[in-house]
């Protein structure tokens, strides 16, 4: 039995059904969960439109592209001058629903049963090892089911500040922005983590005047500091008002405006406000603690590396566990849980092999050990960072911001981590991810052929520099 249809839930369902298990997925919104319906897929679709705007605005002059100032004839192609946000958001929601339908079709085709409703555990494990799950349908009717094992994959929902309650019109959370028909003229984004930074960059590219309110001393406080510095510089250079060390205390509507009051008494105003202040796990009212499932103080489910909870026969996967809020990690946790329950060979979750990406412009991709790990002494590693300004392909494309950074062990040269800041860094991080996952050395990366010219050539160049330092004992 799987409660929740996010990546952890539907991937577990696919694995279980394909291996011959009788699988039921209980979900109230649609398979794919928040990742597909209100978070990852919608936001990255919106960002894809913003990328086109950014690419055009930031490079056409340097590349010698001439833009006419006058309005062309009706039959001629016009230059990019703005965005129809209503049309963009209709496309966003259409693609999200289509993806959800595709997932549902895949799961049912594999042989799993999909039930619409909300599931909760009922009591402790029975003497025969089974678990009772109560499913409540939208009309209030209940159905009691028996399961040999239960996977909790219920995800999370936007965290709210008591004095900044979203109204869905002017004060918004990250699930409500896709209902906007018109581009916000002045958008205040509260929160400078991944979600806040992504939306701030996207709306700035689409044409909004953006103020990013950060309670920390820099944007993306959880990311590589060099990468965060590059992004913040890009944001400011493009006209964004980045307010560091500024904690939002409240937000309220005043007519067609929004006033955000900061903890130090300052008040900033805009046409809209987006609250991006984190997420809360969907664990309330599910009977988890009564069933013996231990929760963290944050409300997240406590799990081990094979997705087991403290309650026998109960597993958990995805954002509800508080372990890397990434669809890829959720999916892996779900697959691991199903393999473990069915007695198949399984490798425990290895967080140091996880690659992640921040979909800003430029993107920030990371894998393995980080600069923070090196600085804190958690691992001894050599580090080389190479600016993209030196890369011939980057020069040809007018790319000025970004770098490639790789971490390797001093004695062996084994690659243990990396960070890429570049357009499509999400694609460039893959060879470093392969190196980390397979304990490859910088020498092996350096000796592999790369296309010339290419941005990936910088990865090989960093590896060559690290290999040289290993031989000479420098760094």
* Binding annotation for NAD(+): 191-198, 278
Dihedral over Cα of 34, 39, 40, 43: its sign: positive
Q: CA 430 to CA 332: how far, in whole Å?
A: 17
- Dihedrals φ, ψ of 138, to 5°? -65, -30
Contact indicator for 90, 108 with CB cutoff of 8 Å: no
* Binding annotation for FAD: 44, 119, 319
Tally of CB atoms within 10 A around 136: 15
Place of tokens 């006058």: 70
In order of 1, 174, 336, 347, the CA distances from 344 in angstroms are 18, 38, 9, 10
DSSP structure class, residue 362: S
* Closest CA relative to residue 275, chosen from 155, 154, 156, 175: 175
Contact indicator for 244, 262 with CB cutoff of 8 Å: no
For residue 467 the two structure tokens come to 């290999």
* Binding annotation: 44, 119, 191-198, 278, 319
Q: CA 400 to CA 386: how far, in whole Å?
A: 12
Mapping DSSP to helix (H, G, I), strand (E, B) and coil, where does residue 358 land?
strand
Q: CA 24 to CA 1: how far, in whole Å?
A: 5
Q: CA 457 to CA 92: how far, in whole Å?
A: 34
């Amino acid at each position: 039995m799987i409660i929740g249809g996010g990546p952890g839930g539907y991937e577990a369902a696919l694995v279980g059904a394909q291996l011959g298990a009788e699988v039921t997925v209980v979900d109230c919104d649609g398979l794919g969960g928040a990742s597909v319906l209100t978070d990852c897929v919608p936001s990255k679709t919106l960002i894809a439109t913003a990328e086109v705007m950014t690419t055009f605005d930031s490079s056409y002059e340097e590349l010698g592209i001439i833009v006419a100032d006058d309005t062309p004839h009706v039959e001629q192609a016009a230059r990019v001058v703005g965005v129809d946000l209503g049309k963009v958001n209709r496309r966003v929601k259409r693609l999200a629903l289509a993806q959800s339908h595709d997932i549902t079709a895949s799961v049912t085709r594999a042989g799993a049963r999909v039930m619409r409703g909300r599931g909760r555990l009922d009591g402790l494990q029975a003497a025969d090892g089974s678990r009772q799950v109560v499913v409540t349908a939208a009309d209030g009717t209940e159905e009691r089911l028996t399961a040999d094992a239960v996977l909790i994959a219920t995800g999370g929902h936007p965290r709210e500040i008591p004095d900044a309650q979203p109204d869905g019109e002017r004060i918004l959370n990250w699930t409500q922005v896709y209902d906007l028909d018109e581009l916000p003229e002045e958008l205040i984004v509260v929160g400078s983590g991944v979600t806040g930074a992504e939306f701030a960059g996207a709306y700035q590219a689409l044409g909004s005047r953006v103020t990013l309110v950060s309670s920390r001393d820099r944007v993306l406080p959880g990311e590589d500091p060099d990468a965060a510095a590059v992004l913040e510089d890009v944001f400011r250079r493009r006209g964004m008002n980045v307010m560091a060390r500024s904690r939002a205390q409240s937000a309220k509507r005043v007519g067609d405006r929004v006033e955000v009051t900061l903890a130090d008494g300052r008040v900033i105003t805009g046409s809209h406000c987006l609250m991006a202040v984190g997420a809360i796990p969907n664990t309330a009212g599910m009977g988890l603690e009564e069933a013996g499932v231990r929760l963290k103080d944050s409300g997240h489910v406590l799990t081990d590396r094979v997705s087991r909870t403290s309650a026998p026969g109960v597993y958990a996967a995805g954002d509800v566990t508080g372990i890397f809020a990434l669809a890829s990690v959720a999916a892996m946790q779900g697959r691991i849980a199903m393999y473990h329950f069915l007695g198949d060979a399984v490798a425990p979750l290895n967080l140091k092999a996880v690659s992640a990406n921040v979909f800003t412009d430029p993107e920030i991709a990371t894998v393995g050990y980080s600069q923070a790990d090196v600085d804190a002494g958690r691992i001894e590693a050599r580090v080389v960072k190479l600016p993209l300004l030196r890369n011939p392909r980057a020069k040809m494309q007018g790319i000025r911001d970004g770098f490639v950074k790789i971490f390797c062990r001093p004695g062996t040269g084994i690659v243990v981590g990396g960070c890429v800041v570049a357009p499509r860094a999400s694609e460039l991080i893959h060879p470093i991810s392969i190196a980390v996952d397979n304990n490859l050395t910088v020498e092996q990366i350096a000796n592999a052929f790369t296309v010339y010219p290419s941005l990936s050539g910088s990865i090989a160049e960093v590896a060559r520099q690290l290999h040289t330092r290993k031989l000479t004992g420098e760094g």
